Amino acid sequence: MAKKNLTLEEKLEDAIVKDVPYEVPENWVWSNLKSIADLVTGNTPSKNNEEFYGGKIPFIKPTDLNQGRILNSSTETLSNIGATKARILPKGSTAVCCIGATIGKVAYLNVEGATNQQINSIIPKKIYNLYVYYYTLSSYFHDTLIENSSSTTLPIINKSRMGELLIPLPPLKEQQRIVNRIENLFEKLDKAKELIEEAREGFEKRKAAITSKAFRGILNYRKGEKVNPINEGFYKLPYNWKWTKLEDICEKITDGTHNSPKSYEYGDYKYVTAKNIKEWGIDLSSITYVTKKEHIPIYKRCDVKYGDILYIKDGATTGIATINELTEEFSLLSSVALIRVGKCIDNKYLYYILNSFEIKKRILESVKGVAITRLTLKKINDIIIPLPPLEEQKEIVKILDKLLEEESKIKELTQLEDQINLIKKSILAKAFRGQLGTNCEEDESALELLKKILSRS
CA 138 remoteness from chain centre: 16
Burial group, residue 272, by CB count within 10 angstroms (0-12, 13-18, 19+):
buried
Farthest CA pair distance, the chain = 96
pTM here is 0.67
pLDDT computed for residue 221 by the predictor: 52
* CA pair distance 42, 322, nearest whole angstrom: 44
pLDDT of residue 371: 57
How far is the C-alpha of 137 from the C-alpha of 159, rounded, in Å?
A: 18
* SS3 letters across the chain: CHHHHCCHHHHHHHHCCCCCCCCCCCCCEEEEHHHHEEEEECCCCCCCCHHHEEEEEEEECHHHHHHCCCECCCCEEECHHHHCCCCCECCCCEEEECECCCCCCEEEECCCEEECCCEEEEEECCCCHHHHHHHHHCHHHHHHHHHCCCCCCCCECCHHHHHCCEEEECCHHHHHHHHHHHHHHHHHHHHHHHHHHHHHHHHHHHHHHHHHHHCCCCCCCCCCCCECCCCCCCCCCECCCEEEEHHHCEEEEEECECCCCCCECCCCEEEECHHHEECCEECCCCCEEECHHHHHHHHHHCCCCCCCEEEECECCCCCCEEECCCCCCCEEECCEEEEEECCCCCHHHHHHHHHCHHHHHHHHHCCCCCCCCECCHHHHHCCEEEECCHHHHHHHHHHHHHHCCCHHHHHHHHHHHHHHHHHHHHHHHHHCCCCCCCCCCCCCCHHHHHHHHHHCC
pLDDT at 369: 55
pLDDT, averaged in runs of 10, over the chain (457 residues): 71 91 95 96 95 95 94 95 96 95 94 96 95 96 92 83 96 96 95 85 80 80 48 74 94 94 92 94 92 95 96 92 96 96 96 91 76 84 94 92 71 78 94 94 92 87
Per-residue buried b or exposed e for 46-77, using 16+ beta carbons within 10 Å of the residue's own CB? eeeeeebbeeebbbbbbebbebeeebeebeeb
Amino acid 1: pLDDT: 41
